[in-house]
Amino acid sequence: MAFLYLDIETDNSQGLGLDPFRSKVATLQLLLPNGRPCIIKDPENLDALKPILERNIVVGTNLKFDIKFLKHHFGVNITQIFDIMIAEQVLSGGELTGFTKGRSLKDLVFKYCGAMLDKTEQTGFKHGVPLTKSQEEYVINDIKYLPQILKQQQAKIKATGLEAVIEREMSTIPSVVWLELSGMPLDLKRLKEIEARDTHRKEALEAELKKELSCAGSQQTLNQTPSIKHINLNSTKQLTEALKAKGYKIESTSKEALSMYAADPLIQKLREYKKLQKKLSSFIKTMPDFIHPVTGRIHPSFDQYGTRSGRFSCREPNLQQQPSRGEEGAEWRAIFRARHGYKIVAADFSQIELRILGELAEEQEFIRAYTQGIDLHRLTASKIFKVPLEEVTKTQRSIAKTVNFGLNYGMWKNGLQLRLREDAHIEVSLGEAEQFIRDFQQAYPAATNYLNRISKEGLQKLALRNRAGRLLKLSTPRNEREEGTVKREAKNLPIQSLCADIIKDALKNIYARLEPKGVLFINTVHDELVFECKEEQAEAVSRAVKEEMEKAGSLFLKDLPCVAEVTVADYWRKD
């Protein structure tokens, strides 16, 4: 097996050069193992090259892009990959998140070879038009530095012991290709019905609110009447002023700030307005624009290393933040609907972050609960309220749930009070909140010790490694407030990142089993994987996904089980 250095240029004459469904490959450049460059102009098929591409390790930058084109146009399935952009992120400990922030080819060529790459030719390629001299030079330049970069990165990987993480990230790339080509199915008719109803409702609320709020303004300050009359409800500044004029003691218009007026009719109306405004502007309005003209589906861009923890991020549109909570959320998720004769299989890990905390901290009470199938929130409730397990009330359990999750993130009493108010609609004093935290710490001393230890270690070293070997860099704090942030990050990142490693490991094996069967991989949301498959496949797909997710969990968690819950439905459902 040898290294093959690869890059492609795509036809950008319609400005669609990034779209594998609407653009052709204009050139394919290879650097053969013997160092010889080779340019294939306007490939019609790659039958001769296919075995070579599939049997060697393909090296390049942001290879998901190239591989998508080669798979879609030529049926070439590249699975052995070394992507220098992804490698750089692994080496940087997740510092280089977001696009073109020091991880592009240009950046890496400069960093490792000291050369300046001229990218001005990048967007000028066209299928069927011969290369100019300058274009030819450009495409060779794009591959000629790859061997040097690879070599230096490999040395660093070895020196830092990041081989396993590199391996995991590289073997995730075929799944990202699978994901982006698959796309999410959308029921546009259902979306339009929701849009009509919500737009109507929002406009009614807007009119009422403007009337009530401008009224207060004219009483208060006569000369400002015109501006207040046309209050923009989306302007936090104007809205704060208007509410202050009405006598509300607020400094911000966030829902937390407004939560102390939860019983006030005007505030209720305002919160409903804000919710609808958010839903309409962020989700409803733009979604139809993302329907792909060729596939009729939604094809977001996924970044497998989009976060410091190694989680995926997603954009245009972000399918990781679609409303899901409550009745409204359930209704919204139903717009993501499988084709006729197909089902959507969604699998998510049950309370995986708390399980990871239990494992890492060797917290025997967590281990006992998860091993024996005791509900951890109920267990915590019984401990902090000092009642037997079976006597825990609904309210007590929901308080305990907030405490369990919050402590994982290093929450303080004020934060706990706020979260209880927001999530559980439970009002507690600061003293009570403080007591809950103490009770938690007393009930779970090992978890408490672990979190204290790791936060100190994080602050001291400004870098951590998770159980899967992933490097987690923390930024140097400039003041005490930032020190606090670093300590909280240090508590959370080893847990969050291990979840990312587990899901990536599962994904690699799921790809091998399900992609060849024509199953589509349509979304991933941190601890959840979503697929679309033929109805008759749904049972087998569910089993395979559950099996691989739990197997991946047991690779890293030894003392307690990881459980994946699978649902099969006509649409993307959360159970």
The pairs formed by 305-308 with CB atoms below 8 angstroms and a separation of 24 or more are 305/86, 305/89, 305/90, 305/94, 305/97, 305/169, 306/97, 306/98, 307/94, 307/97, 307/500, 308/93, 308/94, 308/95, 308/97, 308/472, 308/473, 308/493
- Of 33, 124, 147, 415, the residue at the interface with DNA (CB under 7 A) is 415
Task: Choose the stretch contacting DNA; rule: CB under 7 A; options: 11-19, 178-186, 234-242, 338-346.
Answer: 234-242
Q: Which is nearer to DNA, 132 or 235 (CB)?
A: 235
End-to-end CA distance of the chain: 46
Give residues 370-409 in contact with DNA (rule: CB under 7 A). 405-406, 408-409
Q: Which of these ranges, 68-76, 146-154, 237-245, 389-397, lies near DNA under the rule CB under 7 A?
A: 237-245
Closest distance of CB 113 from DNA, Å: 27
CA 431/CA 12 separation, integer angstroms = 63
Based on CB atoms, which residue is closest to DNA, 215 or 231? 231
Contact range with DNA by CB under 7 A, out of 1-9, 308-316, 442-450, 562-570: 308-316
Instruction: Indicate whether 309 belongs to the interface with DNA (CB under 7 A).
Output: yes
Q: Per-residue DSSP letters for 308-324?
A: TTS--EEESS-TTS---
Whether cis (ω within 30° of 0) applies to the bond prior to 323 is: no
Site for DNA in 83-122 (CB under 7 A): 97-98
Could you give the CA distance from residue 409 to residue 353 in angstroms, rounded to a whole number? 10
- Range in contact with DNA (rule: CB under 7 A) among 128-136, 188-196, 415-423, 540-548: 415-423
Element (H, E) at 431: helix 430-443
Closest CB to DNA among 287 and 555?
287
- Amino acid identity, residue 66? D
148 or 225: CB nearest DNA: 225
Kindly tell me which of 220 and 364 has the beta carbon lying closer to DNA.
Answer: 220
Within positions 419 to 448, which residues make up the interface with DNA, using CB under 7 A?
419
| The length of the chain, given as a count of residues | 575
Binding test (CB under 7 A) with DNA, winner from 488, 513, 551, 573:
488
Closest to DNA by CB, 49 vs 228, is 228
Query: What distance in Å separates the CA atoms of residue 307 and residue 179, rounded to the nearest whole number?
Result: 18
Long-range contacts of range 248-257, CB-CB < 8 Å, 24 or more positions apart? 255/422, 256/418, 256/422
Query: Which residue, 175 or 492, is less far from DNA as judged by CB?
Result: 492
Angstrom distance (rounded) from CA 167 to CA 152:
17
303 binds DNA (CB under 7 A): yes
Residue span binding DNA (CB under 7 A) among the ranges 124-132, 410-418, 450-458, 543-551 = 410-418
Residue 116 near residue 79 (C-beta atoms within 8 A): no
- Which bin fits 42, alpha (ψ -120 to 50), beta or left (φ > 0)? left
Question: Which chain residues interact with DNA by CB under 7 A?
Answer: 97-98, 232, 234-238, 240, 252-257, 274-275, 278-279, 281-282, 285-286, 303, 306-309, 311, 313-318, 320-325, 329, 348, 405-406, 408-412, 414-415, 418-419, 480-481, 484-485, 488-489, 492-493, 496, 525-528, 574
